Amino acid sequence: MINGQATGESCRPGRIEVVCGSMFSGKTEELIRRMRRAKFARQRVEIFKPALDTRYSDVDVVSHDKQSIQCTPIDSSSSILLLSSGIEVVGIDEAQFFDDRLPEVCNELANRGIRVIVAGLDMDFMGRPFGPMPALCAIADDVTKVHAICVRCGNLAYVSHRLVDNDKRVLLGETNEYEPLCRECYHKEMEARNAAER
């Protein structure tokens, strides 16, 4: 106890934790790990993902290394508020695909005393801040940036480089569509692509 108050996970106030990084960096694995610890501590948990993410499963959050946890697919961030009654820990995967109201929703949950754990891509395939992630990082109590390994040189990856010729910002994919690259290798790739288009 500190100053007559209990300390520890069960007594901490609501907060927002963001896990961000490129594809293949372990964001979802970290989200699943934290949610499983909360379940082990007998906390009431619920995890949400965008309904459009059906890559591995319609009803589970699944990491690239095939770890999974049951979830509730939803179409808008406002649904999280409706479905979080009596929940102590809320997990949100693929946050970059949600609408811009997500930071407001997360703030409201945290202000209710709920622990909110959010995982998502911080940048899109062009290296631009992605969806509500910048705002979530700004309001978070804790931000963990995880890194994949650059497949070209072995340094820490910076961005998810898209391998297929498609300019849509949202394109669900795996190793056939994306590869993690460090800043230097990504810029070399962009220079080579621009030179080829001239």
* Cβ-based neighbours of 11, under 8 Å, separated by 6 or more: 5
* Cβ-based neighbours of 144, under 8 Å, separated by 6 or more: 17, 18, 19, 20, 30
Can you list the positions of beta strands (E) in 87-146?
Answer: 89-92, 115-121, 142-145
* Residue 4 pLDDT: 47
pLDDT in tens, the chain (198 residues): 445 444 455 555 799 999 999 999 999 999 999 999 999 999 999 999 988 765 555 555 655 565 667 788 999 999 999 999 999 999 999 999 999 999 999 999 999 999 999 999 999 988 999 999 999 999 999 999 999 999 999 999 999 998 877 677 666 555 578 899 999 999 999 898 888 877
* Residue 1 pLDDT: 43
Residue that the structure tokens 């995967």 belong to: 93
Q: Which residues have a catalytic role annotated? A: 94
Task: Produce one character per residue of 8-31: b if its CB has 16 or more CB atoms within 10 Å, e if not.
Answer: eeeeeebbbbbbbbbbbbbbbbbb
Q: What is the pTM of this model?
A: 0.85
Would you give the DSSP letter of residue 178? Answer: E
Measured over the CA atoms of residue 94, residue 126, residue 158 and residue 188, the dihedral's sign is positive
